Amino acid sequence: MEKIDEHKAFGGWQRRYTHKSEVCNCTMTFALYLPPLADTRRVPVVYWLSGLTCTDENFVNKAGAQRVAAELGIAIVAPDTSPRGDDVADEDSYDMGKGAGFYVNATEAPWASHYQMYDYVTSELPALLADEFGTTLDLSREAISGHSMGGHGALVVGLRNVDRFAAISAFSPICAPSEVPWGHKALPKYLGDNRDAWLEYDATAIMGRASNGESLPPILIEQGLDDGFYEEQLHPHRLEEAADQVGAQVEVRRREGYDHSYFFIASFMEDHLRFLAKHLGV
C-alpha cells in the first residue's frame, strides 16, 4: 500500500492510498480521514460510497465532512467508484464502466474480470484496513453512507450485512435500480438477463424480503425535491413502501429547493454524521 496524498485537517489527517486489489485485479485507490482522537484510541469507521462519474476525491474535497468527523472522533473511508486502468473494460458513457461500478460483483464478460466492487467494499478493503490500521480503527463499529449510485451501494451493502453496520444513510440514493433506467442499462450488462440476480443488488427488494424489519439497521435518506433525477431514477417511495411492510426504521427527508449536487450533500452532511455516530455509540 502506498500513501499518495496527505493533508492536516481539523487536527486530524486526510490521506489517500493506492494498493493492488486482488478482487478487482487492478490498482485501487481510497481516501481515509483520521480524526485527532485516533492518535490515542481506536475510532469507529464510516464508509462513504460516491456516485456516478465520481472518484474517491469528490467527497473528500466537497462534502465538508472533516470538521464534524474530527469533533465526533470517527474515521471516514471513501473508496473509488470502480476499477481503473488501461485494461479495465469501459464504455463511452457516464453511467456504465469506469466511474460507474454500481457496487456489484459482475458476472458477465468483459466486466467480470475487474468489476467486483461489492466484494471490494465488503471484504477486501475492510481486511486491508484491519491489517494496516488495526491499532487505529475500531472495525467492530462500522456505519455506511453514500450518494446516488453510492447511496444505492450503501443501502445494499448495509442491508445485506446487518450484523456489521450500525446504521445506514444516503443522499439521493437509487432505491430500486431494477425498476429505473440507470439500473436497466447497467444491471443486465454486469449481471446478465436473470432479474433475480438484479434483485440481490436492489435495496427495495432486499428490504421487502426481510423477515423482521426491526432487526435491520436504522436508515436516514436525504432527498432534494429539485433533483432532476428524483422522479425517473431514484424512487425513495419504493423503499418506504417496503419498509412499512416489514416494520423497518426508514426516514426520508425531502428538502425543498435542493438538487443532486454536493452543495446539497454539504448542507446536510453534519446531520448524517451525527445520526451515524449516535448509532455507533459515539
More confident position, 246 or 213: 246
Contact 222, 251 (CB under 8 A): no
Instruction: Considering the candidates 114, 147, 260, 272, report the single residue annotated as catalytic.
Output: 260
Q: How confident is the model at residue 272, as a pLDDT?
A: 98
Output the CA torsion 37→39→42→46 (10° steps): 60
Q: How confident is the model at residue 268, as a pLDDT?
A: 98
Q: How confident is the model at residue 213, as a pLDDT?
A: 87
pLDDT in tens, 122-179: 999 999 999 999 999 999 999 999 999 999 999 999 999 999 999 999 999 999 999 9
Residue 113 Cα distances to 105, 120, 182, 240, angstroms: 10, 13, 22, 35
Q: How confident is the model at residue 180, as a pLDDT?
A: 98
Q: How confident is the model at residue 263, as a pLDDT?
A: 98
Q: How confident is the model at residue 76, as a pLDDT?
A: 98
Cross-sheet strand order for the sheet of 75-79: 2-9, 12-21, 26-34, 75-79, 43-49, 137-146, 165-171, 219-224, 250-255
Please report, rounded to a whole number, the percentage of residues in the chain having pLDDT higher than 70.
100
Distance of alpha carbon 279 from the chain centroid? 17
The Cα–Cα gap between 234 and 239 comes to 10
Question: Phi and psi dihedrals of 7, rounded to 5?
Answer: -145, 135
* Domains contained in the chain, CATH given: 2-279 (3.40.50.1820)
pLDDT in tens, 179-204: 999 999 999 999 999 999 999 999 99
Q: How confident is the model at residue 96, as a pLDDT?
A: 97
Give the pLDDT band (50/70/90) at residue 58: very high
Instruction: Considering the candidates 178, 227, 235, 272, report the single residue annotated as catalytic.
Output: 227
Instruction: Considering the candidates 148, 169, 172, 178, report the single residue annotated as catalytic.
Output: 148
Mean pLDDT, the chain, rounded, equals: 97
Active site residue 227: yes
The Cα–Cα gap between 47 and 142 comes to 8
For range 9-32, the mean pLDDT: 98
What's the pTM value of the predicted model, to 2 decimals? 0.97
pLDDT in tens, 27-49: 999 999 999 999 999 999 999 99
Q: Does residue 110 have a cis peptide bond before it, meaning omega lies within 30 degrees of 0?
A: yes
Contact 12, 63 (CB under 8 A): no
For range 198-225, the mean pLDDT: 96
* Burial (Cβ within 10 Å: 0-12, 13-18, ≥19) of residue 162: middle
Active site residue 260: yes
For range 206-226, the mean pLDDT: 95
For range 69-79, the mean pLDDT: 98
Q: How confident is the model at residue 173, as a pLDDT?
A: 98
